[in-house]
Amino acid sequence: ASMGRTIVELFYDVISPYSWLGFEVLCRYQHIWNIDLRLRPAFLGGIMQQTGNKPPAMLPKRAEYMLKDIERMAKYYQVPVRMSGDDFQRIMGTSSLAAMRFITAIDMTNPQYLEALSREFWMHFWSQHEDISQPENILAIARQAGLSSELSQKALEMISTPTVKDQLKETTAEAIKYGAFGMPAVVAHYNGKPHLFFGSDRLELLGSVIGE
């Protein structure tokens, strides 16, 4: 990291709509704040399982609130997240494991595509309500993010390798080590220690802590 820049890590999963909001805001702030933003693709399912957390929508009142909350935040941050009551079933029925392994493979081989690729996954799942768990959809998403078919195919083959599986597990374990129990988990390394911020609604607080 260059002199005096605060390293800010964003642990995210494309199945999480709040991760998308946090991602877009931090991608904007990285050009204004004196931060070095590190995108860290992790697996939300693993975090939930290992910390005993439950999806917010399991509580009906919270699900009801979440619909309004996402709508307000999407409007405020100008991010095209579209959510309806049926989406809770859709999320429960979708595994993001293949997508997050694919994103991890790209992070390991061609990190210059990481931001565009991650955004494309969110667009397809949260804006266009498409399936992101099937190989052919993953390849189509990668092409839209500007990856060549050759590169996408190679990354798709990598998702079943121990190297990629272990890397995703490791990143997920790292998030948990910092205290994460859900996503997004934002970790700012400031004054010699890590500061964890959970969710996409604590970014002003993050700015305040790191002097921005």
The two structure tokens encoding residue 161? 């390798």
In this predicted structure, the answer to whether residue 2 has a pLDDT above a threshold of 60 is no
pLDDT band at 31 (very low <50, low <70, confident <90, very high): very high
Structural domain including 18 reads: 6-210
Q: Residue 1: inside a domain, yes or no?
A: no
Q: What is the pLDDT of residue 180?
A: 97
Q: Is 184 left (phi over 0), alpha (psi -120 to 50) or beta?
A: beta
Task: Give the residue numbers marked as catalytic.
Answer: 16
pLDDT band at 76 (very low <50, low <70, confident <90, very high): very high
pTM (2 d.p.): 0.95
What pLDDT, in 10s, does the model give residues 130-146?
A: 999 999 999 999 999 99
Q: Residue 63: inside a domain, yes or no?
A: yes
Q: Residue 168: inside a domain, yes or no?
A: yes
Q: Residue 26: inside a domain, yes or no?
A: yes
Q: Residue 152: inside a domain, yes or no?
A: yes
pLDDT band at 104 (very low <50, low <70, confident <90, very high): very high
Alpha carbons 123 and 130: distance in angstroms, whole number: 9
What pLDDT, in 10s, does the model give residues 35-62?
A: 999 999 999 999 999 999 888 778 889 8
Q: What is the pLDDT of residue 3?
A: 60
Short-list 80, 81, 77, 147, CA closest to 114 = 147
Q: Residue 37: inside a domain, yes or no?
A: yes
Q: How many domains does the chain contain in total?
A: 1
Over residues 188-194, the mean pLDDT reads 95
In this predicted structure, the answer to whether residue 1 has a pLDDT above a threshold of 50 is no
Q: Residue 84: inside a domain, yes or no?
A: yes
Residues 6 or more apart whose Cβ sits within 8 Å of residue 49:
none
Strands 35-41 and 185-190: unpaired
Say how far residue 156 (Cα) sits from the centre of its chain: 19
Q: Residue 107: inside a domain, yes or no?
A: yes
Which of 121-146 are b and which e, b meaning 16 or more Cβ less than 10 Å from the residue's Cβ? bbbbbbeeeeebeeeebbbbbbeebe
CATH number at residue 24: 3.40.30.10
In this predicted structure, the answer to whether residue 27 has a pLDDT above a threshold of 50 is yes
